[in-house]
Homo-oligomer: A and B are copies of this chain.
Amino acid sequence: MTDLIHPVLLCGGSGTRLWPLSRKSFPKQFVQLVGEESLFQSTARRLSAPGFAAPALVTASDFRFIVLEQLAAVEIGAAEVLIEPTVKNTAPAVCAAALSLHDRAPGALMLVVPSDHVIPDATHFRETIPAALPAARDGQIVTFGVRPDRAETGYGWLALSRAPDPDFSATPQKLKSFVEKPDPATAEALLAGGMHLWNSGIFLFSTTTILAAFQTHAPEVLALTRAALQDAQPDLGFTRLAPDPWEDLTNISIDYAVMEQAQNMTVVPYDGAWSDLGDWQAVWRNEAADGAGVVTMGPSVPLDCTDTLLHATHARQELVGIGLDNIIAVAMPDAVLVAHKDRAQDVKEAVAQMKARGTPQAETLPRDYRPWGWYESLIVGPKFQVKRITVHPGAALSLQSHKRRAEHWVVVEGRAQVTIDTEVTIVEENQSVYIPIGARHRLENPAETPLTLIEVQTGDYFGEDDIHRYEDLYARGLGRKP
């Protein structure tokens, strides 16, 4: 193939059905759910190969440093990171990516991929794409349809205009129509008929084709998105779409806004494994079960269980299941889920209830990601708190002070540059420094390796709102936080 393919990774979503592993502050696509990499990292690596340009990302502001950090860990650079001011579903995200790519490379081919799916055979997936290129070059919107192996009610389906080839090769054909998530009887019929595939949500088209489709089928999405891109602000390498026009956008999926109305739709069958890991039942199904249908992940011990998932996420937390049938158990140090497997969809409702009650675990993890790195609270007592803090190479926290706590910093990995009032010192590994109450101080990592320190706070109040900021590299509000 001669055309460079420009991957666009959609990674702004924050589903709750995989709670407690997936949280609003650190959703599913960034979690090491399968294997050693996050789903987002696997997606980026799947499309990092000859013939593919560097990926563009569309994400939320809260995730902008997570995506860069995770890409850096797999040694992939992003061509562009578009920041959505708020979540507006996939149509505005795809439109913004198309407009931006069209500016840089008019008429280029773009491959839109969700970043939270599992496609175990990356090579096979990449080898399927060339079959879609002629149609995409020819003005078609190409969607990839997955060969179904069960009557799944949790996916949308694609109706074919003719039966797939007997060997299920990636022969393009005209897409007849989209089918909404079916009821069980309909799903059985779709599977038995052999004329339907699962809708993977993966698309290939040229920027010219998709922008014309937006112009025809969703002109207001195109106009508002174009305005948001025109007024976008560059920020530390990110492109922040302008909130003003963006907020007027309807929350609408690319399927509804464009695909279901377009006439130039082509489908390419894909016969490899694929899962959207949409809920815990899907995770259970995706993993290799033993003869009794039991899947264990992490340090977990099943005793006489059947058709059960035991998922312990932390090496120092043991999960034991006894006599369980069709149970999902997910253990984390700050939250545990135990659900009947048939009720996997209701995790969403439980999270909504916790959120309504103000339970922090509903949306956040102990580890809190910030522009400069991350921290986690290890223990909070009435008169002290201990945090672990990691600062990226070259990064710096804001110049700040606290009214109600002093801080002891012990550098345990790397090297810190510490400003206290007017004095700047270097604190080496295995050295410590003391920040009195009220002192203006700043923590920086001047080195090329991560800095880890243990912060022991002493005082009588440890809330994040006892931070008075004087200077901040990351354009966060100065003065008293939040």
Within 8 A of B (CB), among A249-307: 299, 301, 303-304
Q: Given A319-B338, A320-B336, list of 19 further CB < 8 A pairs?
A: A20-B318, A310-B338, A317-B335, A318-B336, A318-B359, A319-B336, A320-B338, A320-B350, A322-B339, A322-B350, A323-B339, A327-B338, A379-B388, A384-B452, A406-B430, A410-B456, A410-B458, A412-B458, A454-B454
The answer to whether B301 touches A323, judged by C-beta atoms less than 8 angstroms apart, is no
Within 8 A of B (CB), among A136-150: none
- A152 interfacial contact with B, CB 8 Å: no
Q: CB-nearest residue of chain B relative to A331?
A: B336
Please give, as numbers and ranges, the residues of chain B lying within 8 Å of A346 by CB-CB distance: 303-304, 322-323
For the complex formed, measure the closest distance between the CB of A367 and the CB atoms of chain B, giving whole angstroms: 12
Residue-wise, chain A 367-402 has the 8 Å CB interface mask toward B (1 for contact) of 000000000001101011010100000000000000
The answer to whether B359 touches A303, judged by C-beta atoms less than 8 angstroms apart, is no
Within 8 A of B (CB), among A322-349: 322-325, 327, 329, 331, 333-340, 342-343, 346-347, 349
For the complex formed, measure the closest distance between the CB of A447 and the CB atoms of chain B, giving whole angstroms: 15
- A86 interfacial contact with B, CB 8 Å: no
A310 to B347, CA, bound (A): 16
A430 to B454, CA, bound (A): 15
- A429 interfacial contact with B, CB 8 Å: yes
- A243 interfacial contact with B, CB 8 Å: no
For the complex formed, measure the closest distance between the CB of A143 and the CB atoms of chain B, giving whole angstroms: 34
- A413 interfacial contact with B, CB 8 Å: yes
The answer to whether B361 touches A384, judged by C-beta atoms less than 8 angstroms apart, is no
- A432 interfacial contact with B, CB 8 Å: yes
Please give, as numbers and ranges, the residues of chain B lying within 8 Å of A474 by CB-CB distance: none
- A408 interfacial contact with B, CB 8 Å: yes
The answer to whether A340 touches B324, judged by C-beta atoms less than 8 angstroms apart, is yes
For the complex formed, measure the closest distance between the CB of A228 and the CB atoms of chain B, giving whole angstroms: 37
- A168 interfacial contact with B, CB 8 Å: no
| Listed A/B pairs (18) with beta-carbon separation below 8 Å | A301-B354, A303-B350, A303-B353, A316-B334, A317-B334, A318-B359, A319-B335, A320-B335, A320-B336, A323-B346, A324-B339, A331-B331, A379-B388, A381-B413, A384-B454, A408-B432, A432-B434, A454-B456
Q: CB-nearest residue of chain B relative to A300?
A: B336
- A109 interfacial contact with B, CB 8 Å: no
A311 to B237, CA, bound (A): 47
Please give, as numbers and ranges, the residues of chain B lying within 8 Å of A337 by CB-CB distance: 320, 322
For the complex formed, measure the closest distance between the CB of A219 and the CB atoms of chain B, giving whole angstroms: 43
- A107 interfacial contact with B, CB 8 Å: no
A98 to B149, CA, bound (A): 73
A381 to B299, CA, bound (A): 18
Main secondary structure of the interface of A (DSSP, over half): strand
Within 8 A of B (CB), among A427-448: 429-430, 432, 434
For the complex formed, measure the closest distance between the CB of A86 and the CB atoms of chain B, giving whole angstroms: 27
Please give, as numbers and ranges, the residues of chain B lying within 8 Å of A410 by CB-CB distance: 408, 456, 458
A393 to B379, CA, bound (A): 23
- A85 interfacial contact with B, CB 8 Å: no
- A245 interfacial contact with B, CB 8 Å: no
A145 to B327, CA, bound (A): 40
- A383: which of B324, B327, B413 is its contact (CB, 8 Å)? B413
A426 to B266, CA, bound (A): 78
- A11 interfacial contact with B, CB 8 Å: no
Within 8 A of B (CB), among A6-48: 19-20
- A381: which of B318, B333, B353, B412 is its contact (CB, 8 Å)? B412
Q: CB-nearest residue of chain B relative to A351?
A: B320
The answer to whether B359 touches A342, judged by C-beta atoms less than 8 angstroms apart, is no
Known: A324-B338, A336-B318. A456 touches B412 (CB 8 A): yes
Known: A378-B379, A388-B379, A454-B384. A322 touches B340 (CB 8 A): yes
Known: A319-B336, A406-B430. A386 touches B386 (CB 8 A): yes
Which of A338, A347, A381, A454 has the most CB atoms of chain B within a 10 A radius of its CB? A338
- A312 interfacial contact with B, CB 8 Å: yes
The answer to whether B354 touches A320, judged by C-beta atoms less than 8 angstroms apart, is yes
- A321 interfacial contact with B, CB 8 Å: yes
A458 to B428, CA, bound (A): 12
